[in-house]
Chains A and B, each alone.
Chain A
Amino acid sequence: MNTRFTWFNVTAIVLGFAFLYIPILILVIYSFNESKLVTVWGGFSTKWYAGLLENEQLMDAAWITLQVAFISATIATVLGTMAALVLVRMGRFPGRTLFSGMIFAPLVMPEVITGLSLLLLFVAINFDRGFWTIVLAHATFTMCFAAVVVQARLTDFDSRVEEAAMDLGASPVGTFFQVTLPIIAPSVISAWLLAFTLSLDDLVIASFTTGPSATTLPMKIYSQVRLGVTPEINAISTIMIAFVTVGVLIASYMTKLQSSRMERDRRAADAAAN
Chain B
Amino acid sequence: MTASPTINGPAAGASPAERRLLRTAAPQSGFAPWKDPSKQPIIRFENVTKRFGDFVAVDNITLDIYEREFFALLGPSGCGKTTLLRMLAGFEKPTEGRVIVEGKDITDLAPYERSNINMMFQSYALFPHMTVERNVGFGLRQEGMPEDQIKARVNEAMSLVELGKFAHRKPHQLSGGQQQRVALARAIAKKPKLMLLDEPLGALDKKLRNQAQFELMRIQEQTGTTFVIVTHDQEEAMTVASRIAVMNQGRLEQVSTPGEIYESPQSRYVAQFIGDVNIMEGKVVSLPGDGTVEITPASGDGRIFKAGACEGLFVGQQVWLSVRPEKFRISLDPPQSNVNVVKGRVDDVGYLGSISHYHVHTEAGNRVTALRANSSHNVERAISWDDTVWLEWPAESAVVLKA
> Within the complex, what minimum Cβ distance (angstroms) separates A263 from chain B?
9
A268 neighbours in B (Cβ, 8 Å): 173
Question: How many positions in chain A have a CB within 8 Å of any CB in the partner chain?
Answer: 27
> Within the complex, what minimum Cβ distance (angstroms) separates A257 from chain B?
14
Q: A168-B139, A171-B112 are contacts. A179–B173 as well, Cβ < 8 Å?
A: no
Residue of A nearest to B121 (CB): A160
Q: Do A266 and B172 touch (CB < 8 A)?
A: yes
> Within the complex, what minimum Cβ distance (angstroms) separates A75 from chain B?
26
Q: Do B129 and A273 touch (CB < 8 A)?
A: no
Main secondary structure of the interface of B (DSSP, over half): loop
Contact of B173 among A167, A169, A269 (CB under 8 A): A269
> Within the complex, what minimum Cβ distance (angstroms) separates A169 from chain B?
4
Q: Do B128 and A183 touch (CB < 8 A)?
A: yes
Residue of A nearest to B143 (CB): A169
B177 neighbours in A (Cβ, 8 Å): 273
Q: List 12 A-B contacts (CB under 8 A).
A: A163-B89, A164-B119, A166-B111, A167-B117, A168-B186, A168-B190, A169-B112, A169-B115, A178-B138, A269-B174, A269-B178, A273-B176
Which B residues have a C-beta under 8 Å from some C-beta of A?
89-91, 110-112, 114-115, 117-119, 121-123, 125-129, 138-139, 142-143, 169-170, 172-178, 186-187, 190
Residue of B nearest to A263 (CB): B172
Q: Do A269 and B112 touch (CB < 8 A)?
A: no
A40 neighbours in B (Cβ, 8 Å): none
Q: Which of A16-30 contact B (CB under 8 A)?
A: none
Which A residues have a C-beta under 8 Å from some C-beta of B?
158, 160-161, 163-172, 174, 178-179, 182-183, 262, 265-266, 268-270, 272-274
Taken together as a complex, chains A and B put the C-alpha atoms of A179 and B125 apart, in Å, by: 11
Q: Do B125 and A169 touch (CB < 8 A)?
A: no
B91 neighbours in A (Cβ, 8 Å): 163
Q: Do A163 and B121 touch (CB < 8 A)?
A: yes
Q: Do B138 and A165 touch (CB < 8 A)?
A: yes
> Within the complex, what minimum Cβ distance (angstroms) separates B258 from chain A?
28
> Within the complex, what minimum Cβ distance (angstroms) separates B121 from chain A?
5
Q: Do B111 and A182 touch (CB < 8 A)?
A: no
User: Can you name 4 extra interface pairs (CB under 8 A) apart from A168-B190, A174-B142, A272-B175?
Assistant: A164-B119, A164-B125, A178-B138, A273-B176
Which are the 5 A-B pairs with shortest beta-carbon distances? Answer: A273-B175, A168-B139, A169-B142, A160-B125, A164-B125
> Within the complex, what minimum Cβ distance (angstroms) separates A89 from chain B?
13
Q: A160-B122, A174-B142 are contacts. A165–B175 as well, Cβ < 8 Å?
A: no
B89 neighbours in A (Cβ, 8 Å): 163, 167
Q: Do A168 and B142 touch (CB < 8 A)?
A: yes
Contact of B123 among A158, A182, A270 (CB under 8 A): A158
Scoring A167, A172, A268, A272 by chain B CB atoms within 10 A of each residue's CB, the highest score goes to A167
Q: Do B125 and A163 touch (CB < 8 A)?
A: yes
Residue of A nearest to B198 (CB): A160
Q: Do A167 and B172 touch (CB < 8 A)?
A: no
Contact of A166 among B112, B123, B126, B187 (CB under 8 A): B112
Residue of B nearest to A164 (CB): B125
Taken together as a complex, chains A and B put the C-alpha atoms of A168 and B157 apart, in Å, by: 15
Q: Do A161 and B127 touch (CB < 8 A)?
A: yes
Q: Do B129 and A182 touch (CB < 8 A)?
A: yes
Q: Do A167 and B118 touch (CB < 8 A)?
A: yes
Taken together as a complex, chains A and B put the C-alpha atoms of A65 and B212 apart, in Å, by: 59
Taken together as a complex, chains A and B put the C-alpha atoms of A166 and B111 apart, in Å, by: 6
> Within the complex, what minimum Cβ distance (angstroms) separates B188 from chain A?
11
Q: Do B172 and A262 touch (CB < 8 A)?
A: yes
